[in-house]
Structure 1
Amino acid sequence: MVIEIDFNSDEAIYVQLMNQIILGIATSRLQEGDTLPSVRQMADTIGINMHTVNKAYTLLKQEGFVSIDRRRGAVVAIDVDKIKALEEMKQNLVVALAKGCCKEVSRQEVHQLIDEIFDDYDL
């Protein structure tokens, strides 16, 4: 899996890394049981600090996308707590939709955008 980090972005590097891994899972480039590179390997590959990778992996674990095993490292292990996932999604969408409303984005445009995004996922 290729991780693309934008070092000029205002978004924190650990957040970008987390999002890339989540997108990899959603698009089936990463499967349940796949082992992620070690913290050191990931840091060396991307050219970032090991603590940044560790923070991303820890948050991915807290959010139920990976499990951490001392022998295997970070392993994709999806926590299927759908109610929790829907609540988190709602919180994120409230702000995103408010921004869209301020820019006069229509309901139809939002639905079309969501459909386009969902088409990329293997559901």
Structure 2
Amino acid sequence: MIVSIDYESDTPLYTQLYDEIVRGIASGRLESGENLPSVRSLAGDLGINLHTVNKTYQLLKQEGFVHIHRQKGAVVQPAGSLPVTDAFRTRMERQLESLASEALCRSMREEEFLERCRSAYRSIRPQARDTHEGGRER
């Protein structure tokens, strides 16, 4: 598993790791049923604390991206199998609102903002724009 972590970033390491794993699942680089590295192994590979990786895995489990199996460890759940919950919608709206506010402060046009959102969505997995609508297969 290839993970890109910016040790100089203000973003906490567990958040960066969470985002990288979710991006891997969404893009298909991490497939359903695939085992993630053990907490100890990934922490060693990245040179970070075991508790950081454990916190990430627990968040991934809590959000339904992985299942923690006693013998297999963290196992990837299928992309597209998670429901679009009210909590997710609220979190997404909050993050988009923050980005939209900054875009407005920088005089970015609405069309450009929306196009960049669309482009970011499609860049993760080009076929996602055709196969997912509101978290469900069309």
> Scaled by the length of structure 2, what TM-score is found?
0.82
Counterpart position of 1:55: 55
List structure 1 segments (4+ residues) > 4 angstroms apart after TM superposition. Answer: none
Give distance in 2, aligned partners of 1:112 and 1:20: 23
Counterpart position of 2:23: 23
Give 1:60 deviation, angstroms: 1.0
1:96 equivalent in alignment to 2:99 = yes
Alignment deviations for residues 6-42 of structure 1 (CA, whole Å, 9 cap, x no partner): 1111110111100100111111101121110000010
How many residue pairs get aligned? The number is 123
Question: Which consecutive unaligned segments of at least 5 residues does structure 2 have?
Answer: 129-138
Give distance in 1, aligned partners of 2:109 and 2:4: 31
1:120 equivalent in alignment to 2:106 = no
Question: Which consecutive unaligned segments of at least 5 residues does structure 1 have?
Answer: none
Give distance in 2, aligned partners of 1:64 and 1:46: 24
Percentage of identical aligned residues: 39
1:82 partner amino acid = V
> Scaled by the length of structure 1, what TM-score is found?
0.91
